[in-house]
Structure formats: structure tokens, C-alpha cells
Amino acid sequence: MVFLVAGAGGFIGFHLSKALLARGGKVIGIDNLNDYYSPLLKQARCEQLKQYQYFSFYHGDITDQAAIEQIVQEHSDIKFIFNLAAQAGVRYSLENPFAYIQTNVMGQVSILEMARRLPKLQRIFYASSSSVYGLNKKLPFSETDRVDRPSSVYAASKQSAELLSFTYNHLYGLKQTGLRFFTVYGPWGRPDMAYYLFAKAIIADKPITLYTGQNLSRDFTYISDVIDALLSLLDSATLEDYGIFNIGNSCQEKVESLVICLEENLGKKAVINYVERPETDIEATLSDINAIYKATGWTPKTKLSDGIRQFVDWFQNLGGRLLL
């Protein structure tokens, strides 16, 4: 079975590609390996994937029509697309909003137009985000909640991608499944995320920044649970032609609990500076995962304490060196 993984050099794309290859699949990966965070980490992920016989890699941007055309011509037998390519980061969207429209909106259109030309394609899975819930206050977040009040350009770009996917399903019958990820973490993770930044700072005896607020919390979701969720959706025979699922741990953890887990595993105390939470950041997230459970039977298995322990093991052995 042939898969296209857009964003194969990214955190989730890398782990998903490994899982698909381990199952005997053929994976076509594309990634522009941009410098939003260290390209060394992205390149190291790709080097891991290139050890598999049935992995092919294209260094290119999903908005580059020449790169897309080459993939269509050389791999017309693609059956599933996982579009995990994205410009990530909530706060960076204040600095460079154009990057989010280019990758998350134009990139989605590019993948959708590509999909129309693949005769054997069965379904597109695409990355969305818990950020689309924006200014909602009700917890847990459910797929039936309104998502028309984004609090950042990043969130708006992800909601735009969802709307485009719905339109292409309506117009052209492309079967699609959206994936609203909730704070994914773990080995080989993104170094711009809090758990990674905190680990680096604690090791270096530098202060970390925490936001003030009574309910500053996240639904931390371990990477292996995320991959199990994606595979369960891939294997499901009952998915509707179009749908969206929360992919979360369904467990609300205070960010201070994350810091405590890191301190325990690193053997060092954090120096903490408290600042006011910026308007772009949601105060709390929590996923309602009843929909994916009903569709596939999937439930997450990893507690935050166990996931952070595994992350720190990797970070101390390899992750920190990749970012020196």
C-alpha cells in the first residue's frame, strides 16, 4: 500500500512514516525542511527514514507545483495521503502571518488539487489543531463545538484548511478525515514547544517562563498514542466520507505539573519567571474523544509522567545534541 506523507521530516510525520513502513507500506515523503526550528533535527529524522527500503523522499514544498507534479507523475498509485505539513506555532503567527496562509491554507489547496489527480486515492487525512477551538470556554472541547472565533492567525489558518477540505469533499467527493491534535509531545519532538524549551533551560540552569492564571493547563498527548490513533482511523471500515476527530489524551494537566515531571526526571529544579498569558494562547485545553472511540475503539494509554520520562531519556541521549 502506498502512502504520501507531507511533512515527513516533522515530528508527527516522522513517527507516522516509521509506523507505516514497519507495517510493510511504501511511503513517499515530502518536506521543505524549513528553518522554523533546527533543520538538523528534521534532517536527522529523515536520515532515520531513509534506512527503510520503501521510503522515498522529496525535498520540496507542498505549494511548489513542480514538486507536486513530479510526485503525481512518479507515484500515481498513492492510496492514502497524510497531510501533516504545516507552519506550526501560535505566537510566531503574530510575527509572520504570511507563512501560515502560505503553508496551512495554500498548502492545503495544493494537496487537495493533487488528490483529484490520483486515480487510486482512497482518503486524505490532514492535520488540524486544538487551537481551532479558540475563545471557547466550555471544556472538554468537542468536535460539535463552534470554531468560528480563533484567537490567533495559526488557529484561523487551521480552521480555513478544515473548511477547504469540507468544500472539496462536497464538490469532488474526496474522502477526508481531519485530525485536531492536542499538544503532542515525546521523543524527536518539536524544540519550540514548552516541554522541550523547559528541559533545555533546566539543564542549562536558565529560567523558564510560565504564564499566570488559575487554570493554565493542557491536554498533553504522547506521540505513540497519536500514532495509534492515526492507524486506528486508517484501518477503520466505518469512517464517513468526511469527518473530524479530536486526537487527545482527554486528561487536563496543569503546566506546573509538566515542570514537576521534568524536574524529577532531569534531577534539577527549575527557575521560574511568571508573566501574564498572551491573548494568542488558550488558557486551557481538554479533548472530548468519544467520537474517535466510537469510530475505532481507540483510547490513549500514556500518562504524562511516563511520557516525560521517555522524552527525557531521549533528550539526554540524543535530542539535546541535535540542537547544539
Active site residues per annotation: 154
Query: Distance (Å, rounded) from C-alpha 34 to C-alpha 231?
Result: 27
Cβ atoms of 257 and 192 within 8 Å: the answer is no
| Distance, CA of 82 to CA of 31 (rounded, Å) | 12
Which residues have CB under 8 Å from 222's CB, separation 6+? 184, 185, 186, 249, 300, 302, 306, 307, 310
- DSSP for 132-166 reads GGTT--SSSB-TTS-----SSHHHHHHHHHHHHHH
Q: Which amino acid is at 202?
A: I
Which residues share a beta bridge with 2?
Answer: 26
Contacts of 193 (CB under 8 A, 6+ apart): 183, 185
Nearest of 319, 317, 177 to residue 241 by alpha carbon: 177
C-alpha cell at 296: 475505532
CB distance 220 to 255 below 8 Å? no
Gyration radius (Cα) of the chain, Å: 19
Q: How many CA within 13 A on the CB side of residue 176?
A: 26
**Distance of alpha carbon 16 from its chain centroid, rounded?**
11
Question: Cα torsion for 260, 264, 265, 268, to the nearest 10°?
Answer: 100
